[in-house]
Amino acid sequence: MKIQDTKMGLVEFEPIKEGEIGMYVCGPTVYDLGHLGHGRSAVSFDLMRRYFIYKGYKVKFVSNYTDIDDKMINRAKEKGISVEQLANEIIPEYIKDYTALGIMVSDISPKATDSVKEMIDIISTLEKKGHTYVLDDGVYFDVKTFKEYGEFSGQKLEDLKVGARVDVKEDKRNPYDFVLWKFKKDGEPFWSSPWGDGRPGWHIECSAMSFLHLGEKFDIHGGGLDLVFPHHECEVAQSLCAFGSDAFAKYWMHNGFINIDNEKMSKSLGNFFTLRNVFEKYDPKIVRFMFLQTHYRNPINFSFDLLEQAKAGLERIRDCVRNLKFEIENSSDGGDDTGVDEKLSGLKSDFENVMDNDFDTSGALGAVFDLVTFVNTLIQSKKLTKKSANDVTSLFTDFDKVLNVIFEEEKDIDDEVKALIKQREDSRKAKNFAMSDKIRDKLKAKGIELEDTSSGTVWKRV
């Protein structure tokens, strides 16, 4: 299979160790609730992880929480609580939102503050190798000691702009030198180190956590496109200087931005949506489906119209699965299996071929909709047998091991609703359509919608 490496382009994926994959994905800074950009990144790498597992790989998946940095400190001061208390409040909210999006729990979810010793060890190694210097506010990495600095993100030092996420400090040797260890300030959390009390810089955190949990060399490092520079550029520099030129991540992968009206989502522009905002109006699996409709590397121009389209598309798939289940439970074993096995095999190959091409989920969903069309045709023409219905269900199940949107959480209906459905079926058989329509409206008011099929009536929640 092929994957898109940020620096090398489209390459054939070859794991370091046959049959096993180590993945590290930069997680959120937990000073506030997760937004659509966090959700998009988490779903993108969850999708990759699921497909690797589907292909038979044993995957060790690590995604961190940054629980110490300037944003954490400032927000904690605003709230009048400690940084640790803030992290303990926000991390469970991320877990709740990510669970709702159908994201698998990471094998390891380290907090930056749990790896300070490893960060100090790496900085000490860098110091011994001549890559650091000390100023009045901390220990810095000297980018001129790593001649490849800028190559990862495809930039030249002289073209890079200082500011934004690059700290401006006049007495740095080079404008792009970055801090490894920040000396203690009043009221801030701190740890002891050989250079004085203080806290780690942002970039050193992920190098230490990935090293601790995946070793000096692992397969894939991922994150949002906004992290390519300076965060991942700095990770590459300090990690290769500390561990050696053949160390750290073999492949780098980045997901695209969330745009609102063709502009990058940001609080400063007032076009900002938390996941919780969106979940108030839409089922989280609809949000996941919306993400999957676009290739993970491409930008998503978010709108509520796009969510409506996703809702309609997902409902079409789920209606098919719902009808399929009803057919298995209620139809007689007639029909014709001719050509079904060949069609299903072809659709499975289609799904895998597009997913093998850098996780093309839009193509994968195309295979799912082709399956929906095929199944609906079989049902309408009364050619679906119980065997083929079970085979189709198995294929949907295989697809959903990767996509995790197709099957709804099983929620039974109460006895009153069951009685109303039965009463309506009796009214239809007795050709009392006025009563049948009245009961249908009553059920809809309860959030239950009915669909009449040739084999009987199927219900769904709305």
CATH code at 388? 1.20.120.640
- Contacts of residue 288, Cβ cutoff 8 Å, sequence gap at least 6: 43, 101, 102, 404, 405
Q: What band does 423 get if pLDDT is binned at 50, 70 and 90?
A: confident
Range of the domain at 359: 304-403
Same domain, 108 and 207: yes
Whether residues 321 and 390 fall in one domain: yes
CATH number of the domain to which 81 belongs: 3.40.50.620
Residues 105 and 6 in one domain: yes
Same domain, 119 and 226: yes
Clarify whether residues 355 and 237 are in a common domain. no
Residue 59 has pLDDT above 90, yes or no: yes
The whole-angstrom separation of Cα 182 and Cα 199 is 5
In a domain, 299, yes or no: no
- pLDDT score of 404 more than 90: yes
Return the minimum-mean-pLDDT range out of 9-23, 398-412, 429-443.
429-443
Report the 10 Å Cβ neighbour count for 355: 23
Q: Same structural domain for residues 216 and 102?
A: yes
The helix/strand/coil state of 110 is coil
Q: Determine contact, residues 440/450, Cβ cutoff 8 Å.
A: yes
Same structural domain, 368 and 450: no
Q: Is residue 293 part of a domain?
A: no
* Per-residue pLDDT tens over the stretch 438-462: 777 877 776 677 766 655 566 666 6
Report whether the peptide linkage leading into residue 230 is cis, meaning its omega lies within 30 degrees of zero: yes
On whether residue 10 sits in a domain, the answer given is: yes
Each residue's pLDDT tens digit, 125-177? 999 999 999 999 999 999 999 999 999 999 877 666 554 455 667 799 999 99
193 assigned to some structural domain: no
Whether 39 maps to a domain, the answer reads yes
Give the pLDDT of residue 462: 60
Domain closes at, from 403, 427, 448? 403
DSSP code of residue 232: I
Give the tens place of pLDDT for each residue, 360-385. 999 999 999 999 999 999 998 888 88
- The mean pLDDT value for 409-428 works out to 71
User: Do both 339 and 243 map to the same domain?
Assistant: no
Mean pLDDT of the chain: 91
Give pLDDT, residue 168: 65
Q: What pLDDT is recorded for position 446?
A: 66
Query: What per-residue confidence (pLDDT) applies to 408?
Result: 86
314: its two tokens: 């997902």
Same domain, 445 and 340: no
Asked, for residue 185, whether it belongs to a domain, the answer is no
Global pTM? Answer: 0.88
Q: What is the mean pLDDT of residues 209-224?
A: 98
pLDDT at res. 163: 45
Which of 220, 255, 290 is the endpoint of a domain?
255
What are the backbone angles phi and psi of residue 34, rounded to the nearest 5°? -70, 145
Segment 272-276 long-range contacts (CB within 8 Å, at least 24 positions apart)? 272/35, 273/35, 273/36, 273/302, 274/32, 274/33, 274/34, 274/35, 274/36, 275/33, 275/34, 275/35, 275/36, 275/38, 275/39, 275/97, 275/100, 275/101, 276/33, 276/34, 276/93, 276/97
Q: What is the mean pLDDT of residues 287-315?
A: 97
Together in a domain, 385 and 419: no
Residue 95 lies in a domain: yes
**Is 363 among the domain residues?**
yes
**Percent of the chain residues topping a pLDDT of 70:** 91
The whole-number pLDDT of residue 25 equals 98
Task: Give me 136's structure tokens.
Answer: 């009045």
Name the domain count of the chain: 3
Same domain membership, residue 437 and residue 374: no
For 328-355, the pLDDT digits (tens) are: 887 667 777 889 999 999 999 999 999 9
Is residue 398 located within the same domain as residue 422?
Answer: no
Q: In the 3-class helix/strand/coil scheme, how is 351-363 assigned residue by residue?
A: HHHHHCECCCHHH
